[in-house]
Structure 1
C-alpha cells in the first residue's frame, strides 16, 4: 500500500491533486494524507485553546467536505484512507520528521500558484515537500474560475473605478 502526501489549502479545488494521484496509481490502494501548513500561535494563551480539528474546520471552504465525499465515492476501490493533518513546523528538518512519522515516501504536488496560501497563518509547503519526500510527482492542473466571484470582483472593481473617475 502506498501513502501519498498531498498539500492542500482546504479548498474543494485542491482535491483535484488527490484525483491526479489516483490516476497515477490506478492499480494501487492508497492512503492519502492531505497536509495543511499552519503557523502556531505566538502566545501561550492561544496555545491553550489550540485545536487542529477546529482550525481545519474553520479554514476549509464550504465545498471541501462535499468534494471529498465525491472523491471517495469515485475512487473508493483505490482508497485505504484519506485524512487531513496540520503541519506546524517551520523548516525542512521539521517537515522531514513529519514525513517520517507518517511513513510518507511519495508526494503529489501542483504547479506554483494552484493552491491559495494567502492567510496570514499559513504558507506554501511545496518547497519543503520537494526537499524532504523521496518521490515527488508534479502535476499541472487547470484552476477553475469561479465566475460568480469573478463577476462580483469585476462589479466592485467597476464601481471603484466610477467613484474615482468622478
Structure 2
C-alpha cells in the first residue's frame, strides 16, 4: 500500500478536521500520515523563549471537542490512517515553510476553499499565504449545500461524520 504525508492547516476547530475525512476518502488506497498544522509566532523575549513549551501550548489550544474528534477519526479510519498529529509552524517566510514541508516529507496539502481564518491565540497567523505559494500539490476542498443548519452542524463534533465535501 502506498504511503503519503498530508498537511492540513488547523484552527483547532472540529470544522478543520472535516478536511481529514475528505483526504482519507480521496486516498482510500493509501496509508496516510496526516499533519494538522497551526501557524504561531514564537515569543521574542529570551525569558519567554526559555519558558516556551510546545506541548503545553498545544494542550491549551486544543478543545475537548477537537481531541474527541481526532480520536473518532483515528478509530474509524485506523486501517489507512497511520498517524494523526498536531504541530505548530512558526516560520516567517516562504523558504521556512518549504523547509518545514521538506523536513516532514509532505506529499500534499489539503485546505478549505472557503477558508476563513480564526486565530486561536494572540500569536496565531494564517498559513494560507504560505500554502498558496508552496510548490507542494494543493487540494482545495469545498463544502456542498451550504445552508444555515449545515453551517452549524459542520462546526459541531457530530458534524464530522455527517457532511458533504468535494475537492475542486
Q: TM-score, normalised by structure 2?
A: 0.80
Cα-Cα RMSD: 1.7
Q: Aligned match of 2:72 in 39, 62, 70?
A: 70
SS in 1 for 2:129: helix
Query: Does the CA contact (< 8 Å) of 1:5 and 1:106 recur in 2?
Result: yes
Larger Rg over CA atoms: 1
Tell me if 1:139 matches 2:146.
no
Query: Does the CA contact (< 8 Å) of 1:107 and 1:133 recur in 2?
Result: no
SS in 2 for 1:29: strand
Structure 1's 133 and 79: CA in aligned 2 closer, same or farther, altered over 3 A?
Answer: farther
d(CA) in 2 for partners of 1:60, 1:116: 14
Q: Aligned match of 2:35 in 10, 33, 36?
A: 33
d(CA) in 2 for partners of 1:31, 1:133: 19
Structure 1's 48 and 85: CA in aligned 2 closer, same or farther, altered over 3 A?
Answer: same
d(CA) in 1 for partners of 2:106, 2:115: 24
More strand by share: 2
1:105 matched residue in structure 2: 107
Q: TM-score, normalised by structure 1?
A: 0.81
